[in-house]
Amino acid sequence: MMNPKLLVVGELNVDLILNKIHAFPQVGKETIADEMDMCLGSSSAIMAANIAAMGVDTTFCGVVGDDYFGDFILRELEQKSVSCKHVTRLPDQKTGCTLILNYGQDRANVTFQGAMNALTISNIPFEAPANYQHLHVSSLFLQKGLLNNIEQILMNARAAGMTTSLDLQWDPTEQWAFDYARCLPYVDVFMPNESELLALTNTDSVSSAIEKVRPYLNMLALKVGRKGSLGLCGDQQLTVPAFEGPHFVDAIGAGDSFNAGFIQKYISGAPLEECLREGNLMGALNTTAAGGTGAFCNFNKISENIKDFWGIELSLS
């Protein structure tokens, strides 16, 4: 396929980001943050916006409220060349919002889910043959309307001829009600980070966690933070080191940018090592600007910064 098309299904919210906080907040007390930004939030939307900025034909499927935050999200996505033709506006819902308190390279998040809970399998376009080559789903535990039907969603995508990827993200309830033995056979690329995989499998080491999910995996793209990423496909297992970022601002959306880089290469048919390397590169680029999409203006700017920071010539193929 000369121009692969991506469908991203997931949550939509704005991020309100507080940086340079003077002290850890305490109940009954007030502290000061020297910087505040409002930007496009949600794992799914950040991945969609950034992979679209990299040149991939991207469409989003989600829900927002009929409010200012909803207007803001749609405007941001469209400015990033993401099609919003499958985004539904619900007048009786408020658009989701995440408050992010940054502490160096760590952070605390509080999310109001709002309209994101209203997204269901009935919202997802499953024509056969598919209009899209690949389906990416993220933040499953934040979307109650999708959680119970995730196996069917993945099966429908496969039946329509799409490949699939899944990034569960963290479960705020810490129940991890995802039947990986049933669902992972329908996932072409499973994309957790280290802490999520350990929690999902109730293990205390990456090797033990991998052994639990290995019988059901097609491909694993595991994010391991400053150590880079680990890939697994059949008998092939490899680790690709991270790129050191020259100007760290924050790590919001770094994992989602990894997903964007990896999937851009994956749908072009690149080998696993190249996919992991591109994921690591986009994750590192993400940390050089505020928020999840600040470093991804357009392909030319992305290419220019990557050449300046790491001396690498970027290619879409």
Range of the domain at 258: 5-26+34-310
Contact 56, 133 (CB under 8 A): no
In-domain check, residue 259: yes
* Count of the separate structural domains present in the chain: 1
The larger pLDDT score, comparing residue 3 to residue 139, is at 139
Q: What is the pLDDT of residues 197-251, one digit of tens each?
A: 999 999 999 999 999 999 999 999 999 988 999 999 999 999 999 998 778 887 8
Whole-model pTM: value is: 0.92
Q: What is the pLDDT of residues 77-117, one digit of tens each?
A: 999 999 999 999 999 999 999 998 876 666 788 889 999 99
In-domain check, residue 317: no
Contact 146, 153 (CB under 8 A): yes
pLDDT at site 1: 40
β-pair type (13-21, 33-40)? antiparallel
> In 3D, which of 298, 295, 267 has the Cα closest to residue 283?
295
**CATH code of the domain covering residue 88:** 3.40.1190.20
SS3 131: coil
Q: What is the pLDDT of residues 140-164, one digit of tens each?
A: 999 999 999 999 999 999 999 999 9
In-domain check, residue 147: yes
The larger pLDDT score, comparing residue 180 to residue 108, is at 180
Instruction: Count the residues in the chain.
Output: 317
In-domain check, residue 315: no
* Average pLDDT for the chain: 92
Q: Backbone dihedral region of 77: left (phi > 0), alpha (psi from -120 to 50 degrees) or beta?
A: alpha
- The pair of three-digit structure tokens given for residue 45, joined into one six-digit string: 């939307």
Element (H or E) spanning 272, and its range?
A: helix 272-286
Q: To the nearest 10°, report the CA torsion of 136, 284, 13, 194.
A: 60
Q: Cα–Cα distance between 315 and 156 in angstroms, integer?
A: 32
